[in-house]
A and B are shown apart, each in its own frame.
Chain A
Amino acid sequence: MEFQLPDFDLRVMMPEIFLFLWALVVITFDLSTKRRSGAAVAYLAMFGLVITGILLAVAGTGAGFGAMFFNDAASIFFKVIFLGAAFMAIGSSFGLLRQKIQHHRGEFFGLILLSTVGMMFLASSNELLSLYIGLELTTIPLFVCAAFFKDNRLSVEAGIKYLIIGAFSSALLLYGLSLLYGLSGTTDLLQMRINIATTHLNFREIGMLPMISVIMLVAGLGFKLALPPFHQWAPDVYEGSPTPIAAFLSVGSKAAGLIAFAKIMINGLQVFYDQVMAPSDWGILVAVIASAAMIWGNVAAIRQANIKRMLAYSSIAQAGYIMIGMVALNELGMAAVSFYMFTYLFANMGAFAVVAIFEDTTGSTQISSYNGLAKTSPFHAASMSVFLLSLAGIPPLAGFFAKYYVFASAIKMAGAADDKSWLYWLVGVGLLTSVFALYYYANIIKTMYFTTDESPYRLSVASPGSAMVLIGLIGVLLFGLYPTPILEFAAGIPEALGVVVP
């Protein structure tokens, strides 16, 4: 038997390799300046992300390492989101450098970069093992980052909680993956798709096993995406973590979970998305979870007094909206999910950037302390309002367009296939809960604007954090009014993920 070396095409992996090395450079730089590097280390990390973005454009699409590493429309799109999230998270961290992170700066930014590398591998992997490794590389650095304020009880709690939940969910996921391997005899997603498709009717006779596998996978990924009932960690972790890390968790980590979900459930298990496959049909299962996310996330957010907890619940609800596109498995669905995630990047990172600046200036994360902010810091208050209205889905902001696209994909699917009419209900839940959502988003706007008091705080406009706010603002406005280029790129994603339109 002739042994064939796989085709090591390093070109497609160039961005990942570069970013990995750059993370080490960032850490070494901090060490070599005897840990007095100051803001330079953050700029260095951001510079690395920009270079990675350029390399990503240069590397283009293609496959490497046999079939294990793919760069297609889906992975490139999500990699851009990861890089953007990391860039904006680091950009919002400058305030921390002055006060809370006096030591281990290199590690802080290095770990963010390493986590980004993990996400990028995840988005490119087409095989269960490397996918799992990518997922672990994504989360493990974030455990450390969440607990970065060693002296702060909440931060340590956040780190430990995230670690335990993360380990638990990884175990569930791994168990699901091993069952999947047992059922299909392969770890390669494309091969798995073929193997399952050829024998998929037999799966009903196997009985419980496919169902258990699907449940484990949905639960494991549900933890990563903070979907109910696996969401309880999110508010505590967001509250305790450094704000830029909470932002990165809510966007980068969520996008990573989404692409992992799409790879396993769509690329591998699309055949299960069918009533014939009941009870292993994951469509209805995910739809129920998504409804729970929208209802519970939006209702619980109303009662929050802490803005980070409120944004945590809001991001739980947003994940619910995103999952509508995921279960509307047609030529629009995944494109809508990707576009949603892209607009969410700007709106949510922007909102967190304002929260970070506010926290650095005032030390508070209470919503009540935003009272009268519009008078002293009009730029930040107005930007925050725009981000919140975008999250609420008010046109002509980008968030509205994303919601529209997601709902459109679901309604199209519901009308096209008779056994998918439950999608109408999902859309109904989504729309009704978006009215609740407006209430708590508007509540913050009310606090900032409607009072006659003047806030005692004045946020600085000339800071890197404010530049991140500006980036978010431009993104939300620009892609709301002219989404076409992004939409056209995203339109290729369902095909890249192998979505078969019924």
Chain B
Amino acid sequence: MATIFIIEDDISLQKLYDMILSTSGHQVVGLANNGEEGVKLYESFSVKPEIIIMDHRMPIKNGIEATKEILKISNHSKIIFVSADNSVKNLALSIGAIEFIEKPFSMEKFLKIIKNVL
């Protein structure tokens, strides 16, 4: 089971990801409403999470910008990009995201990918 950090501005989805992952035995170590919050919170983690679920379209700082900054802080965490915006897939993977999941996706697919990247 993995330690997971969720960065997603849609409060409903944030809650649903949390419920899915917790139910599946993973440990959600933090929730952030936008990229800027995500970077600050990540920086504060003494033990970096194994996986980061990263949305793209968020206020203040988007997923691409947040990913770049997080990877500068530490490359310990594997970042899974989760976005409805398929146009940023290649960019996300090129800057260091390990996977890209396009919304909408099934819970099964979501958990399988998390398992694969561990």
Is B truly associated with A? no
> Measuring CB to CB, which residues of chain A are less than 8 angstroms from any residue of chain B?
none
> Measuring CB to CB, which residues of chain B are less than 8 angstroms from any residue of chain A?
none
